[in-house]
Structure 1
Amino acid sequence: MALEGSQPNLGDLLEFPRDRYSHWGVYVGDEKIVHVIAESLVRGSVMKQLVTVVADGNRYRVNNKYDKRCAPRKPKEIVKSADKEVGNLTDYNLLTNNCEHFATMMRYGKTFSDQVTDAEETAVMAGAGVVTLPICPPVALGLLVSASVRSKK
Structure 2
Amino acid sequence: MGQDNSHPQPGDLIEIYREFYQHWALYMGDGYVINVTPVDEGAPSLSVSIASIFTRKAKVKKQLLKEVVGNDKWHVNNKYDRSHTPRPVGEIIRLAERWIDREVPYDVLANNCEHFVTMLRYGEGVSDQATNAVDGATAAVGGIILVGLAAAVLKGFSRDSSREERRYH
Category of TM-score, reference length = shorter chain: 0.7 to 0.9
Instruction: Identify the match of residue 60 of structure 2 among 46, 52, 59.
Output: 46
How do residues 26-37 of structure 1 correspond to structure 2 at under 5 angstroms?
Answer: 26-37=26-37
Distance of 1:38 and 1:6 partners within structure 2: 26
Give me the CA root mean square deviation.
1.3
Q: Which blocks of at least 5 consecutive residues in structure 2 are unaligned?
A: 40-51, 145-169
How do residues 4-153 of structure 1 correspond to structure 2 at under 5 angstroms?
Answer: 4-39=4-39, 40=52, 41-129=55-143
Structure 1 match to 2:48: none
* Structure with the larger strand share: 1
Give the TM-score, by structure 1 length: 0.80
Matched letter for residue 141 of structure 2: G
Contact 2:37 2:58 in 1 (8 A): yes
Distance of 2:2 and 2:59 partners within structure 1: 25
* Structure with the larger helix share: 2
Structure 2 match to 1:150: none
Matched letter for residue 85 of structure 2: A
Matched letter for residue 107 of structure 1: R
Q: Which blocks of at least 5 consecutive residues in structure 1 are unaligned?
A: 131-153
Larger radius of gyration: 2
How many residues align? The count is 130
Contact 1:45 1:90 in 2 (8 A): yes
Cα distance per residue 1:92-117 (max 9 Å; x no partner): 11121111111001100100011110
What displacement does 1:3 show? 2.2
Cα distance per residue 1:18-63 (max 9 Å; x no partner): 1111110100001000011133431110000000000112211100
Give the TM-score, by structure 2 length: 0.73
